[in-house]
Amino acid sequence: MEEEFVKVPQDRIGTIIGKQGKTKEELEKNLNVKIVVADGVVKISKGNTEDPLAVWKAKDVIKAIARGFSPEKAFKLLKNGKIFEILDLNRYAKTKNDLLRKKGRVIGKNGKTREYIESMTGTYMSVYGKTISFIGDFENVYDAKKATEIILKGKPHSAAYYYLENVIREKKKSDKIPLWKESK
C-alpha cells in the first residue's frame, strides 16, 4: 500500500480538515485516497484508485494548504499542468529581522508587490513562515519565482517588474510568430 506523510503546522490542521471535515472529505473523494490527521502529521494512503499519482497529488494539495493557501487555491493542483513550488527563505535571510524584512519586500505595501507578481504571471503566491510558495503552470511559476528571487536578493522592485514585463512581451511576440510558413 502506497503511503505518504506530511508534517503540518498546528495552526493549519483545521484548514486541512475543513468545516465538519469537508475539505479532507472532498480531497479523499476527488482522488480516492484515505487521509488521517494526527499529531501534526497527515498520512495519505492510496485507496482503490487506478491513478498512480493520486497520493502524490493529495500530498501536494495538503502541502499547499499547510504553506498558507486556501483549500480553493490548493485544489487547483488537481488540474493537469498545475504545479506547486516552495521557495525556502533561509537561503536569503540570515537573521529573524532579515527574514521579516525580506517577506515584507515580497508582499509589498498593502500586498501590492505580491498581487502584481500574481497578476503578471497568473500564479498564486503564499508567504508563510520561512517560505514563499507558488501554484500555477510550470512556466508561470518559474517566472513568479524568478521575480521573487530578484526582490529577495535586494534588487529594486522595478528590476522584478521589468523582468516580468519583458517575459510577457516575449511571450506575446512568440505567439505571433507562426511555427511554419504556409506554402502558396
65 domain residue, yes or no: yes
Parent domain of 49: 3-78
Same domain, 70 and 46: yes
Q: Across residues 86-113, what is the average pLDDT? A: 95
Tell whether the model's pLDDT for residue 49 goes beyond 80.
no
71 domain residue, yes or no: yes
Domain end, chosen from 45, 63, 78, is at: 78
d(C-alpha 27, C-alpha 121), whole Å:
27
Domain end, chosen from 26, 57, 78, is at: 78
Same domain, 122 and 51: no
Q: Across residues 135-162, what is the average pLDDT? A: 96
**Residue 177 confidence class, pLDDT cut points 50, 70, 90:** low
Same domain, 89 and 161: yes
Same domain, 72 and 90: no
Phi, psi of 55 (to 5 degrees): -65, -40
Same domain, 90 and 70: no
Is the separation of the CB atoms in 35 and 29 below 8 Å?
A: no
Closest CA to 114 of 145, 138, 91: 145
**Residue 50 confidence class, pLDDT cut points 50, 70, 90:** confident
**Residue 171 confidence class, pLDDT cut points 50, 70, 90:** confident
Phi-psi bin for 133: left (phi > 0), alpha (psi -120 to 50), beta? beta
What is the domain-level CATH number for residue 163?
Answer: 3.30.1370.10
Tell whether the model's pLDDT for residue 51 goes beyond 90.
no
What is the number of domains present in the chain?
Answer: 2
- CA distances, 46 to each of 19, 61, 72 (Å): 24, 15, 22
The terminus-to-terminus CA distance of the chain in angstroms comes to: 59
DSSP 53: T
**Residue 181 confidence class, pLDDT cut points 50, 70, 90:** low
Same domain, 72 and 97: no
pLDDT at 155: 96
10 domain residue, yes or no: yes
Q: For CA atoms 144, 149, 154, 155, give the dihedral sign.
A: negative
Same domain, 67 and 110: no
Enter the pTM of the model.
Answer: 0.88
**Residue 178 confidence class, pLDDT cut points 50, 70, 90:** low
Percent of the chain with pLDDT over 90: 81
